[in-house]
Amino acid sequence: MGLVVQKYGGSSVADAEGIKRVAKRIVEAKKNGNQVVVVVSAMGDTTDELIDLAGQVSPMPAGREFDMLLTAGERISMALLAMAIKNLGHEAQSFTGSQAGVITDSVHNKARIIDVTPGRIRTALDEGNIAIVAGFQGVSQDKKDITTLGRGGSDTTAVALAAALDAEVCEIYTDVDGVFTADPRVVKKARKMDWISFEDMLELASSGSKVLLHRCVEYARRYNIPIHVRSSFSGLQGTWVSSEPLVQKTQQQGEQKVEQAIISGVAHDTSEAKITVVGVPDKPGEAASIFRTIADAEINLDMVVQNVSAASTGLTDISFTLPKTEGRKAIDALERNKHGIGFDSLRYDDQIGKISLVGAGMKTNPGVTASFFEALSDAGVNIELISTSEIRISVVTRADDVPEAVRAVHTAFGLDSDSDEAVVYGGTGR
Ligand code: ADP
Ligand code: ASP
Ligand code: MG
């Protein structure tokens, strides 16, 4: 008997109808002879609504109580899903992250999974149950406090359980048919990929393609767990994310490996802000003390750019991007250390967006960078920051320019599909 882990995102369980629909799918998987573990997210936009609510009682909610609040969303959906499955005549038991053995560090709001001890899940399965686990949450190893894994963290719960239970596959059910060459909400002509490598998926995810969370892909790569991203609203095959190319059967050529694309896709992200530290003395140790301050505040940075210093003043500016949600914390930390670091002022800009082109073929195909910048220039998009890796080029632009820029780059690299428009089945895209 195979063991499958299925994860259903918030848009798939947005209301009672959605929960009943998903329950039927889960029961099908069980009837096909599998042991089934289900990871479920909070219904619809529940997590966002809880965050808004917290903001109404406290200006900067964070930490322990915030996690306690947010995990309530997944508790609601796990219990309802178990009830709906029982109503279909099958046994199901729901478990919180803590009960399922998801052990994390104690960094509230973005904890890392450090161990998974799914003893209770195994017992529930052995007794013939479908096990339903609340995604996005765990319990800290030292303080035994409830933690959350960061937005979109249910994906990580699913892969971590799949690894711990030695599952054959981790299926991620969402509101689109798979991983596309761009967000189908922005590019109607985006194409669904049959397969994408862990490496390219990792870059897309960390560049903002929220269809999968980058930590989840990281985890899957480390434990070599194939992920199948697909829609809970259709019966279509989705996208396989794995180390080895997928083998497909075609009538003409028999079995064939899906080829690695030169360019996998275009990602965008409007969840970041830019901080510019103005008037930093251009001498060794300055950047170090700025970024030590940020690191001590447990904030993750994305891009970093240092401008050339003006010879007359010996001062320079350093800009970096970070999640908007960390903006206040970063500004406060830098202000507190202003004298130690030595800078004139800080500038904060949250009207930025990032566009990234991703593909392993970039390494060996000259001209990709030039075509990327030409596409942006033809679309009249001004570039503020640039960063590259071996298989990715990213630029920061005005947030308003992002949709147009994504479409322009998508077309320029021949990624537009000539068939059906990409379907978005549900969700608000929030
Ligand atoms: P869930 O609620 O199932 O976790 P998410 O909203 O987190 O769903 O992720 C699915 C969404 O990811 C899609 O609705 C789509 O708008 C967005 N998305 C961004 N980039 C991509 C991409 N390259 N392929 C598919 N979906 C993408
Ligand atoms: N409910 C959480 C969120 O909205 C976790 C998840 O959906 O993966 O971020
Ligand atoms: Mg998600």
Q: Mean per-residue pLDDT for 262-276? A: 96
The answer to whether residue 283 sits within a structural domain is no
Q: Is 323 in the pocket of ligand 1 (CB under 6 A)?
A: no
The answer to whether residue 36 sits within a structural domain is yes
Q: Residue 158 and residue 386: Cα distance in Å, rounded?
A: 34
Residue having the nearest C-alpha atom to atom 4 of ligand 1: 9
Q: Mean per-residue pLDDT for 319-325? A: 95
CA atoms within 13 A on the CB side of 144: 1
Q: Residue 217 and residue 219: Cα distance in Å, rounded?
A: 5
pLDDT tens column, 171-200? 999 999 999 999 999 999 999 999 999 999
Phi-psi region of 125 (alpha: psi -120 to 50; beta: other; left: phi over 0): alpha
Q: Mean per-residue pLDDT for 70-97? A: 98
The answer to whether residue 246 sits within a structural domain is yes
The answer to whether residue 86 sits within a structural domain is yes
The answer to whether residue 268 sits within a structural domain is no
Q: What total of structural domains would you count in the chain?
A: 1
Is the pLDDT assigned to residue 420 strictly greater than 70?
no
User: For position 49, which CATH number holds?
Assistant: 3.40.1160.10
Is the pLDDT assigned to residue 306 strictly greater than 80?
yes
Contacts of 223 (CB under 8 A, 6+ apart): 159, 162, 163
Placement of tokens 């001890």 in the chain: 117
Contacts of 20 (CB under 8 A, 6+ apart): 84
Answer yes or no: pTM beyond 0.85. Answer: yes
User: Cβ distance 274 to 321 under 8 Å?
Assistant: yes
Pocket lining for ligand 2, CB < 6 angstroms: 9-10, 41-42, 47, 73, 135-136, 151-155
CA of 385 to the centre of ligand 2 (A): 30
pLDDT tens column, 14-37? 999 999 999 999 999 999 999 999
Burial of 106 (0-12, 13-18, 19+ CB in 10 A): middle
Is the pLDDT assigned to residue 109 strictly greater than 80?
yes
Q: Is 208 in the pocket of ligand 1 (CB under 6 A)?
A: no
**pLDDT score, position 154:** 98
CA of 281 to the centre of ligand 2 (A): 42
The answer to whether residue 218 sits within a structural domain is yes
pLDDT tens column, 240-268? 999 988 777 777 777 877 777 789 999 99
Q: Residue 429 and residue 270: Cα distance in Å, rounded?
A: 12
Phi-psi region of 427 (alpha: psi -120 to 50; beta: other; left: phi over 0): left
**pLDDT score, position 65:** 96
**pLDDT score, position 161:** 98
The percent of residues in the chain predicted with pLDDT above 70, rounded, is 99
Q: Mean per-residue pLDDT for 143-171? A: 97
User: Cβ distance 277 to 318 under 8 Å?
Assistant: yes
The answer to whether residue 407 sits within a structural domain is no
Q: Average per-residue pLDDT in the chain? A: 94
User: Cβ distance 135 to 153 under 8 Å?
Assistant: yes
Distance between first and last Cα of the chain: 38
Q: Among 13, 46, 47, which residue has the most ligand 2 atoms within 8 Å of its CB, making it the best to mutate?
A: 47
What amino acid is encoded at 98 in this protein?
Answer: S
Q: Mean per-residue pLDDT for 116-141? A: 98
Is the pLDDT assigned to residue 98 strictly greater than 80?
yes
Phi-psi region of 293 (alpha: psi -120 to 50; beta: other; left: phi over 0): alpha
**pLDDT score, position 244:** 84
pLDDT tens column, 56-68? 999 877 799 999 9
Q: Is 413 in the pocket of ligand 1 (CB under 6 A)?
A: no
Q: Picking from 214-218, 254-258, 321-325, which range would have the lowest pLDDT averaged per residue?
A: 254-258
Q: Among 22, 38, 172, 176, which residue has the most ligand 1 atoms within 8 Å of its CB, making it the best to mutate?
A: 176
C-alpha Rg value of the chain to the nearest Å: 23
C-alpha distances (whole Å) from 272 to each of 185, 353, 354, 366, 382 are 19, 7, 8, 30, 17
Q: Residue 41 and residue 74: Cα distance in Å, rounded?
A: 5
What tokens appear for 337 in the block? Answer: 């250390």
**pLDDT score, position 241:** 97
Is the pLDDT assigned to residue 310 strictly greater than 80?
no
CA atoms within 13 A on the CB side of 93: 14
| Residue 312 pLDDT level (bands cut at 50, 70, 90) | confident
Residues with beta carbon < 5 A to ion ligand 3? Answer: 9, 152
**pLDDT score, position 373:** 96
Print the domain residue range for 103.
Answer: 3-260
The percent of residues in the chain predicted with pLDDT above 90, rounded, is 85
**Edge to edge, what strands does the sheet with 272-281 contain?**
304-306, 315-323, 272-281, 345-349
The answer to whether residue 37 sits within a structural domain is yes
Q: Is 180 in the pocket of ligand 1 (CB under 6 A)?
A: yes
Q: Is 211 in the pocket of ligand 1 (CB under 6 A)?
A: yes
**pLDDT score, position 303:** 93
**pLDDT score, position 15:** 97
Q: Is 116 in the pocket of ligand 1 (CB under 6 A)?
A: no
**Count of Cβ atoms closer than 10 Å to residue 428 Cβ:** 12
